[in-house]
Amino acid sequence: MSDTCLVTDIQKFAVNDGPGFRTNVFLKGCPLRCTWCHNPETIAKYQELYWKRRLCVQCGACLEACPEDAIEPPVDPALTQFAETAYQKVNREKCTRCMECVKACIYGALEVTGSPMSVEQILDEVEQDRPFYDNSGGGMTLGGGEPTAHPEFAEKLLAAAKERGLHVCLDTNGFCEWETLKRLADYADIVLYDLKHLDPAKHKEMTGVDNALILENLKKLLAAGKEVWIRVPVIPGFNDSLQYHKEAAEFLAALPQKVARIDLLPFHNWCQDKYAWLGRTWSLADIEAMDPGMLEIPLDFYKAKGLFASVGGSGFEDAKSA
């Protein structure tokens, strides 16, 4: 096992990923390819390159530094500033991600996604905000990407966090072998568990995998006595119908062991810059962010089944049953 793992971000003062104030650790790498992914930089397990066109002055330093002829020659910066333009600074097919261009760029227009960090480095940063955890019931949330994509490192990180007395949430899509999930969940106070769709064909269409393993692992987690918070990313045209939420509420209410709560997470498109920085188009970029108020009726379906539910997932909000 490597002593480090790529981390795309350590986000402090998060309030929507478990109870209290939390620090979210985003590991890089995920086996799913969700069409709506809000963190596309966390999907690949390797470092990637952002090009932020609005910061690029077209000085040519990156062109001189690139050993692979993967950088386009400078042009008038005014021609490149708008997302509608076809111009891309980096030829992704030629790029070998040596990152020499990043070293040469003094304007921050080129940036590496993912930094190798050790368990100790991560936890030392997480612990900087321990007073806020103690006062709010917060702690560390390990997500990504997908923590189970790095089972050995994630287990070591979670175990060390518990040794330091931190409250821990594991944020997972559940697509892994049960033994892997169990090993990580054993160190978690709460498991945040995605429920994207109940239909295996629709699930595979939008995520690249079907949901049989995910649903089976959910049942096993509950049978093992884990506190599970279900998180439902509500995506227009995918799982936003009233009929779907009626069925999801019935499914969750019928589980032999009760889930602790359900959080409906409304779709947003605030991540579209990340796709542009990676040189990709995003099929959902033109879909408007969902008004949380639109989920009040679906929310009632879950409450009517005696389930604790909320919109948005704030750890400071008491989810109320009907």
The Cα–Cα gap between 88 and 98 comes to 18
CB of 30 closer than 8 Å to CB of 42: yes
Within-domain flag for 37? no
- Do 97 and 218 lie in one domain? The reply is no
Mapped onto helix, strand or coil, the DSSP state of residue 194 is strand
Q: How confident is the model at residue 313 (pLDDT cuts 50, 70, 90)?
A: confident
- Do 94 and 199 lie in one domain? The reply is no
- Predicted confidence at residue 79, as pLDDT, reads 87
The Cα–Cα gap between 261 and 191 comes to 11
Please identify which residue in the block is written with the tokens 């390159």: 49
Residue range 280-311, pLDDT digits in tens: 999 999 999 999 999 999 999 999 999 999 99
- Do 74 and 151 lie in one domain? The reply is no
Within-domain flag for 319? no
- Predicted confidence at residue 319, as pLDDT, reads 38
**pLDDT of 111 above 70:** yes
Within-domain flag for 75? yes
The Cα–Cα gap between 300 and 316 comes to 20
Please identify which residue in the block is written with the tokens 């040794």: 163
Last residue of a domain, one of 66, 87, 113: 113
- Do 85 and 175 lie in one domain? The reply is no
- Do 162 and 263 lie in one domain? The reply is yes
Q: What is the three-state SS of 252-293? A: HHCCCCCCCEEEEEECCCCCHHHHHHCCCCCCCCCCCCCCHH
- Do 91 and 19 lie in one domain? The reply is no
SS3 content of the chain, % helix, strand, coil (to 5): 35, 20, 45
* The total number of structural domains that make up the chain: 2
Element (H, E) at 102: helix 100-104
Q: What is the mean pLDDT of residues 260-266?
A: 97
The Cα–Cα gap between 9 and 104 comes to 23
| Percent of the chain surpassing pLDDT 90 | 93
- Do 184 and 278 lie in one domain? The reply is yes
- Do 193 and 239 lie in one domain? The reply is yes
Q: What is the mean pLDDT of residues 249-254?
A: 98
Which positions ≥6 away from 138 have C-beta within 8 Å?
18, 19, 20, 21, 22, 23, 132, 167, 315
More confident site: 315 or 50: 50
- Do 60 and 171 lie in one domain? The reply is no
Q: What is the mean pLDDT of residues 151-164?
A: 98
Mapped onto helix, strand or coil, the DSSP state of residue 161 is helix
Within-domain flag for 38? no
- Predicted confidence at residue 217, as pLDDT, reads 98
Q: Which range of residues forms the domain containing residue 55?
A: 48-113
Within-domain flag for 216? yes
- Do 160 and 272 lie in one domain? The reply is yes
CATH of the domain at 176: 3.20.20.70
Rounded to two decimals, the pTM is 0.95
- Do 164 and 53 lie in one domain? The reply is no
Q: What is the mean pLDDT of residues 16-20?
A: 96
- Do 226 and 91 lie in one domain? The reply is no
Average pLDDT, rounded, for the chain: 95
CB of 301 closer than 8 Å to CB of 321: no
CATH of the domain at 108: 3.30.70.20
Within-domain flag for 275? yes
